[in-house]
Amino acid sequence: MSWFIEYYDDSALMIKVKETLFESKGIQHIQIFETAGFGKMLVLDGKIQLTERDESFYHEMLVHVPLFMVDEPKKILVIGGGDGGTVREVLKHNPDEVVMVEIDDTVINACRKYIGIDGGALEDERVTVLIEDGMEYVENCKERFDVVIVDGTDPNPVSESLVKEDFFNNCKRISNIFATQAQSPFIQKEYFIEIYKSIKKAFENYRIYINFVPTYPLGLWSYMIASKNEIEPDYDKIKQRWLERKISTKHYNPDLHVASFALPEWLKKEVKGD
């Protein structure tokens, strides 16, 4: 047994590791561990991306919040998400087409072999997987999507373009609704504010929502949803769609959907002037 430690500022998270299943250094430093209490765990450049035990907390809120705010989400674009969890959740809405753009095919191959949380989603005939840079894809894209979802890593040389205003402007051009993970507003304030300010410049309408993911930095995680149209969670509509689509989840439900938009006072102050 050994310990994996993820450091952030003056704190850290320790998880007991039973075995290293995979490690590769290329575009990113990829590690996959078998842990003692959280199942298999994916780490990119020293940052935990998922554990089997709580990945649903993250993927379900990233996907179902924007998709349940659409009458019929038929065409979805996912930027990043090489582990397959986001596409898995998108397919529960029975779309006609899903495009996933991932820059690092080693992540896809390693996750399918050693973790498998996609449950075969990446092999679904409705899914097209493209190995290319997400920023370049949206710059050159001539199609439109009902929803665009960004499932990216912490901002680093590989993913930093995905938190810039130009990227969000291009996503606005090709989508009706846009959603992205937005880091921890508590322990990663600089990352969160950078994403928030860029989205604020690109979109007329935007909202922050939050959720608890135990193995992410100190547990609190944020997301942002944006659109040309007003964004106002309607509980009755969301509940009706939830019942009609008969989607099975481990974490998400309509009550949590609406509650996630209620922000604590300290976070409201962080974005005061919005």
- Return the active site residues: 151
Q: Answer whether 234's CB lies under 8 Å from 240's CB.
A: no
Is there a binding annotation on residue 133?
yes
Structure tokens at 258: 């609406």
Separation of alpha carbons 68 and 63, rounded Å:
9
Is there a binding annotation on residue 234?
no
Q: Is 133 exposed, middle or buried (0-12, 13-18, 19+ CB in 10 A)?
A: middle
Q: Answer whether 39's CB lies under 8 Å from 19's CB.
A: no
Separation of alpha carbons 28 and 24, rounded Å:
8
Q: Is the dihedral of CA 163, 200, 149, 255 positive or negative?
A: positive
Structure tokens at 197: 């300010």
Is there a binding annotation on residue 105?
no
Kindly give the residue spans of alpha helices, DSSP state H, lying in 84-232: 85-91, 105-114, 134-140, 165-174, 189-202
Structure tokens at 24: 């590769």
Separation of alpha carbons 168 and 101, rounded Å:
15
Is there a binding annotation on residue 136?
no
Is there a binding annotation on residue 230?
no
Q: How far is CA 78 from CA 87, 100, 213, 271, in A?
A: 7, 5, 20, 27
Is there a binding annotation on residue 28?
yes
Separation of alpha carbons 24 and 32, rounded Å:
9
β strands within 115-240, DSSP E: 127-131, 145-151, 175-181, 205-212, 220-227
Binding-site positions for S-methyl-5'-thioadenosine read 28, 102, 133-134
Binding-site positions for spermidine read 59, 83
Binding-site positions read 28, 59, 83, 102, 133-134
